[in-house]
């Protein structure tokens, strides 16, 4: 799909806005439904800030819910080819489809430990990290507190969201 100008974004009826932006936060079209109210947007930064502010304003239990909607990195869904289009591309760009047996076992063990401790999956912006950095991040972040990790996870969701917006909206377009 060609990139949309911000003027085109502002003209989208609600239903089309959801079709197009409903997965910029993984499996959470509620975010797009809420953000639509901020229309008209002046540029992509303004649109991205609206998503970020919505997530920042959620109570901790809502932030945890957003994290819980994310698929594991190199997990069961990835193996089954059942990720969303966006996640498939992101996980591939980090080299997660191309791991040794040792790396795969380590990722799976750390992902399980992480979920056991926090009750939601480890989330990191895969397009900004390679598999080595992801494994290191997983090991380090396992030491964090629940509150720290909820906020760190949501910060990663914001990065994922911005990169997904860049795939849809022309970053040079302004009102
Ligand atoms: N768990 C997790 O981080 N998932 C993801 N990260 C990302 O960049 N895309 C995802 O699906």
CB 74 within 8 A of CB 91: yes
Residue in the block written with tokens 């795939």: 167
Per-residue pLDDT averaged across 52-76, rounded?
97
Domain co-membership, 80 together with 52: no
When mean pLDDT is compared across 38-47, 93-102, 158-167, the lowest value belongs to: 93-102
Which residues span the domain enclosing 103?
66-164
Protein residue with least CA distance to atom 9, ligand 1 = 87
Q: Residue 53: pLDDT above 90?
A: yes
Q: Which residues contact 26 (CB under 8 A, 6 or more apart)?
A: 69, 70, 71, 84, 86, 87, 157, 160
Helix (H, G, I), strand (E, B) or coil at 60: helix
Residue 54 C-alpha to ligand 1 middle, in angstroms?
19
Residue 27 C-alpha to ligand 1 middle, in angstroms?
12
Q: Residue 60: pLDDT above 90?
A: yes
Of 40, 58, 76, which closes a domain?
58
Q: Which atom of ligand 1 is nearest to the CA of 87?
A: 11
> Which percentage of the chain shows pLDDT scores above 70?
100
171 in any annotated domain: no
- Look at residues 81, 161, 77, 76 and name the one whose alpha carbon lies nearest to residue 127: 161
> Which percentage of the chain shows pLDDT scores above 90?
97
Per-residue pLDDT averaged across 17-35, rounded?
98
Q: Is the ipTM of this complex over 0.95?
A: yes
51 in any annotated domain: yes
Q: What is the pLDDT of residue 21?
A: 98
Task: Specify the number of domains making up the chain.
Answer: 2
This prediction's pTM:
0.97
Q: What is the pLDDT of residue 1?
A: 82
CATH code of the domain in which 127 resides: 1.10.3330.10
Tell me how far apart the alpha carbons of residues 106 and 120 are, in angstroms, rounded to a whole number.
Answer: 18
Domain co-membership, 84 together with 118: yes
Q: Is 124 in the pocket of ligand 1 (CB under 6 A)?
A: yes
82 in any annotated domain: yes
Helix 146-166 vs helix 60-68: crossing angle, to nearest 10: 60
Specify whether 70 is catalytic.
Answer: yes
Residue 63 C-alpha to ligand 1 middle, in angstroms?
15
- pLDDT digit string (tens) for 93-134? 999 999 999 999 999 999 999 999 999 999 999 999 999 999
141 in any annotated domain: yes
Q: Which atom of ligand 1 is nearest to the CA of 72?
A: 1
Domain co-membership, 54 together with 70: no
With cut-offs at 50, 70 and 90, classify the pLDDT of residue 174: very high
Q: Is 48 in the pocket of ligand 1 (CB under 6 A)?
A: no
Domain co-membership, 51 together with 98: no
Domain co-membership, 94 together with 19: no
Name beta bridge partners: 4: 169
Per-residue pLDDT averaged across 26-54, rounded?
98
């Amino acid at each position: 799909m060609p990139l949309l100008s911000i003027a085109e974004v502002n003209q989208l009826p609600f239903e089309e806005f959801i079709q197009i932006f409903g997965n910029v936060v993984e499996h959470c079209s509620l975010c797009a439904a809420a953000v639509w109210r901020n229309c008209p947007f002046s540029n992509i930064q303004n649109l991205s800030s609206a998503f970020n502010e919505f997530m920042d304003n959620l109570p901790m239990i809502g932030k945890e819910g957003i994290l819980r909607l994310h698929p594991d990195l190199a997990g069961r869904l990835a193996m089954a080819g059942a990720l969303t289009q966006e996640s498939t591309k992101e996980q591939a760009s980090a080299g997660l489809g191309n791991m040794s047996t040792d790396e795969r076992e380590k990722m799976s063990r750390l992902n399980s430990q992480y979920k056991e401790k926090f009750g939601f999956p480890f989330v990191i912006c895969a397009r900004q990290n390679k598999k080595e950095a992801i494994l290191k991040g997983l090991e380090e972040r396992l030491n964090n507190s629940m509150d720290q990790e909820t906020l760190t996870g949501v910060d990663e969701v914001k990065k994922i969201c911005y990169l997904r917006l860049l795939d849809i909206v022309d970053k040079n377009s302004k009102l």
